[in-house]
Amino acid sequence: MQKCIFCKISNKEIPGHIIFENEHVLAFLDISQTTLGHTLVIPKKHVEDVFSMTEEDMTHVFSIIPKLATALKKTFHADGMNIVNNNKPVAGQTVFHYHVHLIPRYSFEDSFNVHYVNNAALYTPDSLSELKEEIISNL
């Protein structure tokens, strides 16, 4: 995947502010710094999104996240952290090499927010049960 910008960072073809690296995983500062310390964690091998990740790939990526999250929290005295992963354009993915965002949080009014709409009124226990069965049939 020659054109992939995260492969280029991983291969040291272009600079990245790398804060952690092992055989399988790389973590580097997100250029946008949505909040102070905003970091990306990627598998070194090119995998486009969650739908192509194996359990092993995911284990490599997520096993390092507690250590990184704790270091970022300590470094910047963050009060919390959002851990976000976007898959496919409709979900906001713009770089098509799997990555997890670590976004330290400093206040309810800082430069990141999460907006969940509560649609609970549209569902009943029976309709949720149907949804559950449909999903299970695809596992």
Q: What is the largest CA-CA distance in the chain?
A: 54
Does residue 95 belong to the site contacting Zn ion (CB under 5 A)? no
Which of 11, 13, 22, 32 lies at the binding interface for ligand AMP (CB under 6 A)?
Answer: 32
Among 1, 18, 31, 83, binds ligand AMP (CB under 6 A): 31
Which residues, 6+ apart, have CB-to-CB distance to 19 below 8 Å? 27, 28, 29, 39, 68, 71
| Catalytic residue (one of 38, 99, 101, 115) | 99
Strand order in the sheet with 18-21: 18-21, 25-29, 39-43, 100-105, 80-84
- Asked if residue 83 binds ligand AMP (CB under 6 A), the reply is no
Closest residue to bound ligand AMP by CB: 32
Nearer to ligand AMP, 95 or 131 (CB): 95
Of 54-93, binders to Zn ion (CB under 5 A) are none
Cα–Cα distance, 77 to 103 (Å, whole number): 13
Q: Which amino acid is at 23?
A: E
If one asks whether residue 1 binds ligand AMP (CB under 6 A), the answer comes out as no
Among 10, 16, 26, 102, binds ligand AMP (CB under 6 A): 16
Q: Tell me phi and psi for residue 19, to 5 degrees.
A: -110, -15
Give yes or no for residue 1 binding Zn ion (CB under 5 A).
yes
115 belongs to the catalytic site = no
Residues assigned a catalytic role: 99
